[in-house]
Amino acid sequence: MSTAYKSAIDLVRELKQKHGNWQNISETDAARMMSQNRFKTGLDIAKYTAKIMRQDMEDYDNDTSQYTQSLGAWHGFVAQQTMYAKKKYFGTTAKTYIYLSGWMVAALRSEFGPLPDQSMHEKTSVPKLIEEIYTFLRQADAKVLNDYFRELNAAEEAGKDTSAILEKSKTLIHMLCQSLLTSMQVSVTKKPLTC
């Protein structure tokens, strides 16, 4: 059992004693979630993702064969299945981004119905779509994390080392952050979207 995991269990125990109404919270489940998720805020996620994107751009500048794939999505399910397929057939989601195209958002996500121009969609369309994509990707990750929890429980009961399974769980969470690059196509150039 890793030191960070043991420390997290101790912290959860301490919190449960301090706040008596937390008795239904599983110490091991809460500790696993704490040890797997190093991102405490949205800013932490943004910094981590920006670092990956800068590295991808630098890799491409040094070697044009190291390009990234921007895969279009207009629905959370489409983004989820795209990343599933990428992971299944290529073994990784590295250098893969979900791309929100202005015309797709205007044509398929407008509350007023399909609009003819990419700049005509209402300002809430893109943030709503991003939230939907995050939700679908989180649901997919939750299923895989549940599988890892079952593996962890079995390994602990058998007295085996669980560090490799914890690392797989951390990698999964980091892949989620890496896989979602949101951008809009404006005219001929692509500009990052800030919400």
What would the DSSP string read from start to end of 153-181?
HHHHHTT---HHHHHHHHHHHHHHHHH--
Q: Quick check: is 164 in a domain?
A: yes
Yes or no: say if 1 and 14 are a contact pair by the CB < 8 Å rule: no
Evaluate whether 4 touches 33 at the Cβ level (below 8 Å).
no
Local confidence band at 189 (pLDDT 50, 70, 90 cut-offs): very low
Percent share of the chain, pLDDT over 70: 77
| Statement to judge: residues 84 and 178 lie in one domain | yes
Q: Which two tokens stand for residue 125?
A: 């369309």
Which residue segment(s) compose the domain that 135 sits in? Answer: 67-192
pLDDT, residue 183, reads: 36
List beta partners, residue 191. Answer: 184
- Structural domains of the chain, count: 2
Q: Are residues 123 and 184 in the same domain?
A: yes
- Is residue 159 a part of any domain in this protein? yes
Count of residues for the chain?
A: 195
In terms of domains, do 82 and 11 share one? no
**Claim to verify: residue 116 and residue 71 sit in the same structural domain:** yes
Q: Does one domain contain both 73 and 165?
A: yes
- The verdict on residue 154 lying in a domain is yes
pLDDT digits (tens, 9 = 90+) for 43-90: 787 788 888 888 999 999 999 999 888 888 878 888 888 888 888 888
Same-domain status, 177 and 127: yes
Residues 82 and 171 in one domain: yes
Residues 177 and 98 in one domain: yes
Task: Say yes or no: 89 and 174 in one domain.
Answer: yes
Q: Is residue 57 part of a domain?
A: no
pTM score above 0.75: no
Residues 75, 8 within the same domain: no
Report the first-to-last Cα separation within the chain, whole angstroms: 40
User: Considering the domain boundaries, does residue 77 fall inside one?
Assistant: yes
Shared domain for 32 and 114, answered yes or no, is no
Residue 15 lies in a domain: yes
On whether residue 45 sits in a domain, the answer given is: no
pLDDT at site 176: 53
